[in-house]
Structure 1
Amino acid sequence: MSFLVIDGSQGEGGGQVLRTALTLSVLTQTPIELVNIRANRDRPGLLRQHLTSVKAAQAISEASAEDVELGAERIRFSPGVVKTGDYHFVIGTAGSTVLVAQTILPVLALAKGSSTITFEGGTHNGMSPSLCFFKESYLAVLNAMGVKTEVETTSLGFYPAGGGKWTLTIEPTDTLKAMSLLTPGREFEQEQKHCYLKALMSELPDTIGQKEVTAARKALNWNAALGEVERYKTNGPGNSFQAKIKGDVFTSVFEQVGEVGVSSERVAKRCAGRVKKFLKVGAAVEERLADQLLVPMALAGEGEFTTTELSMHTKTNIDVIKQFLDISVHVHEEAEGRWRIRVSKESGR
């Protein structure tokens, strides 16, 4: 059997290479050999959330796989027939359930029947997109592209305790619709009825969240924005502060997780700083959503959006996608700090 060799040390050299390669391996029915997995990380190889991503991709495609174990820096993965249905994946740590979900979602979004998947692990760990981002940003765009989804949350999982549990139901589509996301986020921000400040709290005083909302409102001059503190019962203490700008298609979610020794005001200001940078350049899509839109747009065969300066995750995702799909990804800076990315089946564009 011939394997497409994917170098996990390319670009950002982390889990992004692994996840995108698994997704496209199943969708294109291409056997892959992943080498140097997460080579650029302090702890290279498969950690629990990455191992769970491999096992999830293996389960939904009845794939055969070699050397899939904790710490593995090389695996072989040969996909079979995609099988829809009910699945349950447990990470066992506060590792990101959202990233596991994003590995298999594009596959099941184009499958021949509906699926329901339950995930257990982390939902808000600060090192990866949160479940709030997944629902309000990523899934909102997928829904506009034709994939109907529903999320039911049983419990949240903050770092380091984890313990989150949620269920994703997917009603697939035959083809993904092309999307053009060009309207600047600041056009929605100008009317503050589209702006929201929220502090998610567990086993911590409400005053922490209240201080975050107050500090962010002042830093952003969002005097008319709705601000609230939401309390949750989780396996351990946690705090996620979020600033949101609701658009026509999706909500831009900016998040900062509270840390021991970091004041509420500092948490809020860090989050506000990301919002200000995004609004200043006049882009439609913030950094984290940018790299994650590339796979569905490539599968649609067409799409475009504007974003802030390209992250290494975005650049890496473009390179990995091109190893599987015959598409063109045209990237250019159309204004200082604002980049336009266009995906097309036509080469040379």
Structure 2
Amino acid sequence: MLEIDCSKGEGGGQMVRTSVAMSTLTGKEVHLTRIRENRPTNGLSRQHCTAINAVAEMTGSVAIGNTPGSRELIFKPGNEMRYSLDTDVGSAGSVSLVLQAMLLAGSRTDRPLRIDITGGTNVMWAPPIDTYNQVLFPLMERMGIKVKAEILERGFFPEGGGRVSALLDPVEKISPLKLPDLGKLKRVRGICFTQNLPDWITKQLISGCKKPLEPFGGAEIETERTTGISKGAGLCLVAEYKKGFLGSNVITARGRSPKDAGTDAANDLIKEMESGATLDVNTADQLLPYMAMADGDSVFSVSRISRHLLSQMDTLEDFLDVGFGVERRESVYNFTVSPGRGT
């Protein structure tokens, strides 16, 4: 049984989600300890428990200690795959983070896998489903992993109530992702969404993001207005290049104007674009597990090495024979991911 100290690296829920998913893929039992020890609230949250339970239910696995507040977990992988699953995170727990674990656990499926999740679609401290559709899923498709996700209802903090339906096609093999450069910028586009809020918020979000992006040819912004049990607003941007994508996003919050929020999203994207990176920091750590299982070496660069990325490397090395090469060159860190060449 693998022993993993979850207080290392970023010390959050990502190590838990990745470990549980990799356990199902490798058949290795895992004992996780000191879960989220360095966070203000220790142990598993409800969102983490939902992800663990969903992966276990989907794969016929057994999770011992999967209760809110638990600082230890034993996960025993199964081999009975379910191909249709509905799960509810509860309130505004992140739909995208639960989906992240389930897609990784299902990445060797030989049949279509349907996943319906209820919870928060656009919440703080988690990637929005929109960015998955704009950036993550198109890059995964290049690797042979085709996912479609439809936002049926949006859910914001604290009520949640969002619903996403995702479909993962059968995966024959995982191809490496080679992104030494992005090529020419084609356009910047985005989606601005509001729910149960006045139109002036949409206008301010768009106004805030457009001016900083004028030197890059401006931005094409789609607007979406919905109703639901929760209220909120946000903006997801993507810089579309000939060879890849960079993304940024923002959720509005009390105490900060929507216009400033839109400007923040634009400036975050510009920082990535001007760095010379070929993956934005948030997308890199989500793609790393697939690169580690690919049929060949992957290459990419990031503007900085996040603690999430370091944690992913540590966790993947526990489960797989994989090597990570990192070289600092000018303003970026160049990565090579080499399956079958671990230390």
TM category (shorter chain) comes to: over 0.9
2:314 corresponds to which of 312, 319, 336: 319
> For residue 48 of structure 2, what is the aligned residue in structure 1?
50
Q: Does 1:244 align with 2:238?
A: yes
Q: Deviations over 1:253-277 (max 9, x none)?
A: 2101000121122112221221121
Whether the 8 Å CA contact 2:245–2:278 is kept in 1: the answer is no
Letter in 1 for 2:29: P
Deviation at residue 223 of structure 1 after TM alignment = 5.6
How far apart in 1 are the matches of 2:206 and 2:230? 22
How far apart in 1 are the matches of 2:161 and 2:286? 25
Letter in 2 for 1:40: N
TM-score (norm 2): 0.94
2:59 corresponds to which of 52, 58, 61: 61
Letter in 2 for 1:288: N
Letter in 2 for 1:342: T
Relative to structure 2, which stretch is displaced further, 321-330 or 140-149? 140-149
Deviation at residue 286 of structure 1 after TM alignment = 0.5
How far apart in 2 are the matches of 1:67 and 1:307? 36
Structure 1 residues 223 and 208: CA distance shift in structure 2, 3 A? farther
Letter in 1 for 2:104: P
2:227 corresponds to which of 226, 230, 233: 233
Q: Does 1:166 align with 2:167?
A: no
Show the 5 A alignment for 1:35-184. Answer: 35-184=33-182
Deviation at residue 82 of structure 1 after TM alignment = 4.2
Whether the 8 Å CA contact 1:82–1:111 is kept in 2: the answer is no
> For residue 296 of structure 1, what is the aligned residue in structure 2?
290
Whether the 8 Å CA contact 1:284–1:306 is kept in 2: the answer is yes
Q: Deviations over 1:23-58 (max 9, x none)?
A: 111100000001011112111111111001110111
> For residue 23 of structure 2, what is the aligned residue in structure 1?
25
2:277 is paired with a residue whose SS is coil
Whether the 8 Å CA contact 1:303–1:342 is kept in 2: the answer is yes
Structure 2: give runs of 5+ residues left out of the alignment. Answer: none
Q: Deviations over 1:135-164 (max 9, x none)?
A: 221111111111222222210111222111
Q: What is the percentage of aligned positions where both structures have the same residue?
A: 28
Letter in 2 for 1:102: Q
1:4 corresponds to which of 2, 5, 16: 2
1:25 is paired with a residue whose SS is helix
Relative to structure 2, which stretch is displaced further, 221-230 or 232-241? 221-230
2:97 is paired with a residue whose SS is helix
How far apart in 2 are the matches of 1:173 and 1:348? 24
Relative to structure 2, which stretch is displaced further, 230-239 or 26-35? 230-239
1:120 is paired with a residue whose SS is strand
Structure 1 residues 317 and 257: CA distance shift in structure 2, 3 A? same
2:12 corresponds to which of 11, 14, 31: 14
Show the 5 A alignment for 1:304-315. Answer: 304-315=299-310
> For residue 347 of structure 1, what is the aligned residue in structure 2?
341
Relative to structure 2, which stretch is displaced further, 24-33 or 132-141? 132-141
> For residue 208 of structure 1, what is the aligned residue in structure 2?
201
How far apart in 2 are the matches of 1:121 and 1:248? 34
Aligned length: 341
How far apart in 2 are the matches of 1:165 and 1:238? 15
Q: CA RMSD in A?
A: 1.7
Whether the 8 Å CA contact 2:134–2:238 is kept in 1: the answer is no
Letter in 2 for 1:26: T
Whether the 8 Å CA contact 1:141–1:249 is kept in 2: the answer is no
Structure 1 residues 101 and 82: CA distance shift in structure 2, 3 A? farther
Deviation at residue 197 of structure 1 after TM alignment = 4.0
1:198 corresponds to which of 171, 191, 196: 191
Whether the 8 Å CA contact 2:246–2:272 is kept in 1: the answer is no
2:270 corresponds to which of 276, 291, 294: 276
1:181 is paired with a residue whose SS is coil
How far apart in 2 are the matches of 1:74 and 1:49? 16
1:277 is paired with a residue whose SS is helix
How far apart in 1 are the matches of 2:264 and 2:306? 18
Structure 1: give runs of 5+ residues left out of the alignment. Answer: none
Q: Deviations over 1:148-193 (max 9, x none)?
A: 22222210111222111111111121210111023247x31xx5xx
